[in-house]
Amino acid sequence: MTNRIGFVISVLVLLMTAPLMSGCGPVVGAGAAGAAYEYQNKRQMEMLEEDFKAGNIDKEEYLSRKEQIKKGSIIY
């Protein structure tokens, strides 16, 4: 009998908390997407700096591309 009461209580707790947790998925997904986007910006900035140091691009192009990356990033 006590097992059954414990089971019923567990089911009720799950049913009551499930609606509260349904909003977490989109938030976590948006956070992961934002992190991936910022990581891509970081990689682009690193590659840009490597190209500039190697002499593959001039300073004008370097500054232009750097500004484009900054516009699309929260961190830079």
Domain range list for the chain: 25-76
Q: Which residues contact 75 (CB under 8 A, 6 or more apart)?
A: 38, 41, 42
pLDDT at 53: 97
- Using one digit for the tens of pLDDT, what is the confidence trace for 3-58? 677 777 877 777 777 666 666 666 667 677 778 888 899 999 999 999 999 999 99
Q: How far is CA 59 from CA 64, 68, 70, in A?
A: 8, 14, 16
Q: What per-residue string of b and e applies to 2-22 under the rule 16 or more CB within 10 Å gives b?
A: eeeeeeeeeeeeeeeeeeeee
Spatial neighbors of 63 by CB under 8 A, at least 6 apart, are none
Task: Choose between 27 and 63: higher pLDDT.
Answer: 63
